[in-house]
Amino acid sequence: MEKYAVSSDHQKIHYQESGKGKTSLIFVHGWLGNAEWWNDQQKYFEDRYHIVSIDLAGHGKSDTTRKTWSSELYANDIKAVADAVDSSEIILVGHSMSGAYVLEAALKIPAIKAIILIDTLKDLDESFTEEQAEEVMFTHYRNNFKDAVKNFLPQYLFAEQTPPAVKERLQREFLQNEAETAINVLKPLYQTDFRDIAKQIQVPVIAINSDAYPVHIENNRKYLKNYDSLTIIGVGHYPMLEKPEEFNRILDQAINELI
Q: Is the separation of the CB atoms in 99 and 121 below 8 Å?
A: yes
In a domain, 228, yes or no: yes
Q: How many domains does the chain have?
A: 1
Give CA–CA dist 64/61, Å, rounded: 9
Tens digit of each residue's pLDDT (9 = 90 or more) over 75-110: 999 999 999 998 999 999 999 999 999 999 999 999
CB 73 within 8 A of CB 27: no
Q: What percent of the chain has pLDDT over 90?
A: 96
142 band by pLDDT with thresholds 50, 70 and 90: very high
pLDDT reading at 39 higher than 90: yes
Q: What band does 7 get if pLDDT is binned at 50, 70 and 90?
A: very high
pLDDT digits 0-9 by tens, 161-212? 999 999 999 999 999 999 999 999 999 999 999 999 999 999 999 999 999 9
Q: Is 61 inside any structural domain?
A: yes
In a domain, 141, yes or no: no
CA dist., res. 140 & res. 120, Å (int): 22
Phi, psi torsion values for 165, nearest 5 degrees = -65, -35
Task: Give the C-alpha separation, 17 to 23, whole Å.
Answer: 13
**Which residues are within 8 A (CB) of 225 and not within 5 positions of it... i.e. 6 or more apart?**
201, 202
Name the residue range of residue 93's domain. Answer: 2-126+193-258
> Residues near 184 by Cβ (< 8 Å), separated by ≥ 6?
58, 69
pLDDT band at 57 (very low <50, low <70, confident <90, very high): very high
The mean-pLDDT minimum among 100-104, 131-135, 223-227 falls in 131-135
Q: Using the predicted structure, report yes or no on whether residue 136 has a pLDDT greater than 90.
A: no
Judge if pTM exceeds 0.85: yes
Residue 165 lies in a domain: no
Phi, psi of 58 (to 5 degrees): 85, 0
Rg over CA atoms, the chain: 17
Q: Which of 116, 124, 100, 104 is nearest to 31 (CA)?
A: 100
Q: What is the arithmetic mean of pLDDT over 109-117?
A: 98
CATH code of residue 66: 3.40.50.1820
Q: Does residue 157 lie within any of the structural domains?
A: no
At residue 216 the predicted structure's pLDDT band, cuts being 50, 70 and 90, is: very high
Backbone angles phi, psi at 17, to 5 degrees: -135, 135
Phi, psi (degrees; rounded to nearest 5) at 51: -105, 130
Q: Establish if 209 belongs to a structural domain.
A: yes
- What secondary structure letter does DSSP report for 229? E
Contact 96, 119 (CB under 8 A): yes
Cα(225)–Cα(245) distance, rounded to whole angstroms? 30
